[in-house]
Structure 1
Amino acid sequence: MSESELSTTIAAGFGHYFHDFARRVRTMASNLTDDQFWAKPYPYGNSFGNIVLHLIGNLSYYIGTQIEHTGYVRDRDSEFAIVQQGRKKDEILAELDETVAMVIRSLGNQADNDWSRQYVAQGVDDVPDRFSIYLRCCVHFHHHIGQMTYLMKEWAHRAT
């Protein structure tokens, strides 16, 4: 396999998972009302909507700002703010879709030698290169899908 083929394989592989994870989030969210999307079913933890905002912030900063130079300025604390008055579930899910599309475009923009380029950003001192930040963001996304699945089970349990 040539370097170019490997680069294409890496981009396609990550792209597949980012797309699939966004689809899973949208599927789970379709079963929630706007109120459930923002409500915390437990006195601890986060709402489904706040986790989605957190994923948007994570990807927009680590990929958008640091690799694609989008100018996004992250306010991590606001991702977890309880009150999101006026923000509808569909609006947030559309923002997630746009963010994932940006990540997938970014993956396609990586040349063979870009994967090993040094990566530096606040909050990820242990990430040495671009390949590693894409991997870390993908794993982070998957981790939060697990939390969302748990929230969905709780909402289903409460409905019975």
Structure 2
Amino acid sequence: MDDGSDRMSMLGDEFIAEARRQLDASAGTIRHCLAQLDDGQVWWRPREGMNSVGNLLLHLAGNLGQRFGSVIGGEPDDRDRLGEFTERGPIPKEDLIRRFEEAVGRADGVLAGLSADRLGETRRYGLLAGAVERPVLTIVLQTLTHLGGHTQEIVQLTRQQLGERYAYMQPAGVPPRPDPKS
């Protein structure tokens, strides 16, 4: 290989490693929020036309499974996108967590199996009439951006319900903040 090919391969490998870190970070934040919510809070919505954390978990499991498992990984696509948003539960929190964790695990497995040169391969995805061809790298980036946005939505819904009882995540290597009340 020449220097240009080596550099592109290194960049591709770094992109895949960072994608896996971002997937893990978003999943960790979602786990942190779910640990603070009970089943009723998971299905609470600020108003009828908005999503609950439960709907968002179903949606993220469906999106990760479709994009990583089907579009990139070639598995059959059995997603029910409409059902992700119309479900009103109560599916138990443990079942939602299991579905989400399975989708995250499959996504991480697909990422772990990618090579830098596969990032440039194209895949067709989207609704039949609006399907588009995109490089695998673009699909990964769009999917993780989507995951990050909904992760922050889950944080907001959790904080909205818990108020002062919300426990902030402690970044690795940072000592806990002192309690201002002590």
Normalization by structure 2: what TM-score? 0.79
Q: Give me the CA root mean square deviation.
A: 2.0
Equivalent-residue separation in structure 1 for 2:39 and 2:120 (angstroms): 42
1:24, distance to aligned residue in structure 2 (A): 0.4
Percent of aligned positions that are identical = 23
The equivalent residue for 1:91 is: 95
- Note the residue ranges of structure 1 that are not aligned, 5 or more in a row: none
Residue deviations 1:93-144 (CA, integer Å, cap 9, x gap): 1221121111111112112221011121124756621000000000000111
**Aligned ranges 1:5-154 → 2 under 5 Å:** 5-85=10-90, 87-123=91-127, 125=131, 128-154=134-160
Greater length-normalized contact order (CA 8 Å, ≥ 6 residues apart): 1
Pair member with larger Rg: 2
Superposition deviation, residue 4 in structure 1: 3.4
1:2 is paired with a residue whose SS is helix
- Distance, in Å, in 1 between the alignment partners of 2:119 and 2:53 is 32
Could you tell me how far apart the structure 2 residues matched to 1:108 and 1:158 are?
A: 39
Is the contact made by 1:7 and 1:110 (CA closer than 8 Å) also made in structure 2? no
Structure 2 unpaired stretches of 5+: 1-5, 166-182
Compare the two structures and name the one with the higher strand fraction.
2
Per-residue deviation, 1:51: 0.4
Shifted more, 146-155 versus 21-30: the winner is 146-155
